């Protein structure tokens, strides 16, 4: 388990204040835009950046004062950092020599990890002959070789093409489930965070805005900031659009405020019916493969919706909400100190 307890780090133009934990069976993503404090948080945990106050614990041990080498944390970065003069097996086993493991033991451990990341038989190959996705899997295997207590991944897929990213995500999840090792995954990609995480810690300007399971943050965020960051968000006054209700909750929220309605929860029809009462006009059509995304002009402002049905620009439609969520807060407050 990793515990980041009231950690603060102050610079001339930026300050970081974070407090969260990562369980043994969890992948926790640090999600945020550039400059939000994601990588700084990871560097503090790894020991590359000092903290001003607070502490970092791993399995109950305070590691705040230890050097990076003594923290027993695995690190994976976006640029692979493989050694070009070593072959694949030697790269994976690089950290094992310092542990005093004999050559046969290093080779055996490297072979086990190469199989774990789907690269069995790659040991003798030169790293220059590998694709970007394969090199990142080698970097992942190398980080796991010394049996670290936790794994820290800093934007590990950003230099890999889209198809390989999906493959790498599956490997990371599989490895976490098999080894039961806590993982902290830094990313600016909301789709990446939603698909790989057990929990998401959303950061902005050095502060935690919200934390929770991906589904909860996407469907039931507390703040407008989180609602918008996790995906396209229609934020409308409660009662502005008829709510049809759902099995998951009452049709009408208990208090006045701002409703979050995701595009996939807006129904669209060519004619007014029992569930679609708000008139609108299609102003934009975006083909997304399995569905169309629409920009809609309505009397309460522009809304976004998705549908498998094809509507045309300029076409009149009728809209209704299938599901909504009342925001507890209208924004997010950040400390200025």
b/e sequence 327-337, b meaning 16+ C-beta within 10 Å: bebeebeeeee
Final residue in a domain of this structure, among 219, 242, 265: 219
Q: State the pLDDT at residue 242.
A: 60
pLDDT tens digits, 280-298: 999 999 999 999 999 999 9
Is residue 333 one of the residues assigned to a domain?
Answer: no
| Residues 22, 182, 219: CA angle, nearest 5 degrees | 55
Question: What is the C-alpha to C-alpha distance for residues 312 and 12, in angstroms, rounded to an integer?
Answer: 52
Q: 249 and 205 in one domain?
A: no
Tokens of 239: 């009662």
pLDDT of residue 267 exceeding 70, the answer is yes
In total, how many domains does the chain have?
Answer: 2
Q: At 202, phi and psi to the nearest 5?
A: -90, 125
Final residue in a domain of this structure, among 219, 243, 269: 219
Q: 182 and 261 in one domain?
A: no
Q: What is the CATH number of the domain that holds 286?
A: 2.40.50.140
Question: What is the C-alpha to C-alpha distance for residues 38 and 335, in angstroms, rounded to an integer?
Answer: 17
Q: 260 and 181 in one domain?
A: no
Q: With contact defined as beta carbons under 8 Å apart, do 193 and 173 qualify?
A: no
DSSP state of 139: H
pLDDT tens digits, 60-77: 999 999 999 999 999 998
pLDDT tens digits, 173-218: 999 999 999 999 999 999 999 999 999 999 999 999 999 999 999 9
Is residue 176 one of the residues assigned to a domain?
Answer: yes
Range of 143's domain? 2-219
Q: 209 and 245 in one domain?
A: no
Contacts 24+ apart (CB under 8 A), 193-198: 193/29, 193/31, 194/218, 194/230, 195/169, 196/27, 196/29, 196/169, 196/172, 197/27, 197/28, 197/29, 198/23, 198/25, 198/26, 198/27, 198/28
**131 to 36, 160, 248: CA distances (angstroms):** 31, 9, 45
Lowest mean pLDDT among 22-26, 89-93, 94-98, 231-235: 94-98
pLDDT of residue 245 exceeding 90, the answer is no
Q: State the pLDDT at residue 243.
A: 57
Q: 256 and 314 in one domain?
A: yes
Q: State the pLDDT at residue 332.
A: 55
């Amino acid at each position: 388990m990793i515990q980041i307890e009231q950690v603060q780090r102050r610079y001339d133009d930026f300050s970081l204040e974070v407090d969260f934990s990562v369980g043994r069976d969890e992948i926790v993503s640090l999600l945020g835009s550039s400059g939000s404090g994601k990588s700084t948080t990871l560097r503090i945990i790894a020991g590359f950046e000092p903290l001003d106050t607070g502490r970092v614990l791993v399995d109950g041990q305070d590691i705040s004062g230890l050097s990076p080498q003594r923290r027993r944390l695995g690190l994976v970065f976006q640029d692979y950092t493989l050694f070009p003069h070593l072959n694949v097996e030697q790269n994976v086993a690089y950290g094992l020599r310092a542990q005093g493991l004999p050559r046969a033991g290093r080779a055996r451990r490297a072979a086990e990890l190469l199989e774990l990341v789907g690269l069995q038989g790659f040991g003798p190959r030169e790293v220059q002959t590998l694709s970007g996705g394969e090199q990142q899997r080698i970097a992942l295997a190398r980080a796991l070789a010394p049996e670290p207590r936790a794994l820290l991944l800093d934007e590990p897929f950003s230099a890999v093409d889209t198809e390989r990213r999906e493959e790498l995500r599956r490997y990371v999840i599989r490895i976490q489930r098999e080894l039961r090792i806590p993982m902290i995954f830094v990313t600016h990609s909301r789709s990446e965070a939603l698909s790989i995480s057990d929990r998401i810690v959303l950061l902005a300007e050095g502060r935690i805005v919200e934390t929770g399971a991906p589904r909860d943050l996407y469907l039931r965020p507390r703040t407008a900031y989180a609602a918008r960051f996790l995906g396209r968000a229609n934020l409308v006054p409660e009662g502005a659009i008829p709510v049809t209700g759902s099995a998951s909750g009452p049709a009408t929220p208990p208090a006045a405020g701002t409703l979050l309605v995701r595009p996939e929860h807006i129904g669209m029809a060519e004619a007014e019916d029992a569930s679609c009462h708000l008139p609108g006009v299609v102003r934009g059509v975006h083909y997304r493969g399995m569905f169309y995304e629409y920009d809609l002009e309505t009397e309460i402002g522009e809304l976004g919706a998705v549908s498998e049905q094809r509507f045309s620009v300029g076409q009149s439609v009728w809209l209704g909400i299938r599901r909504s969520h009342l925001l507890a807060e209208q924004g997010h407050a950040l400390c200025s100190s």
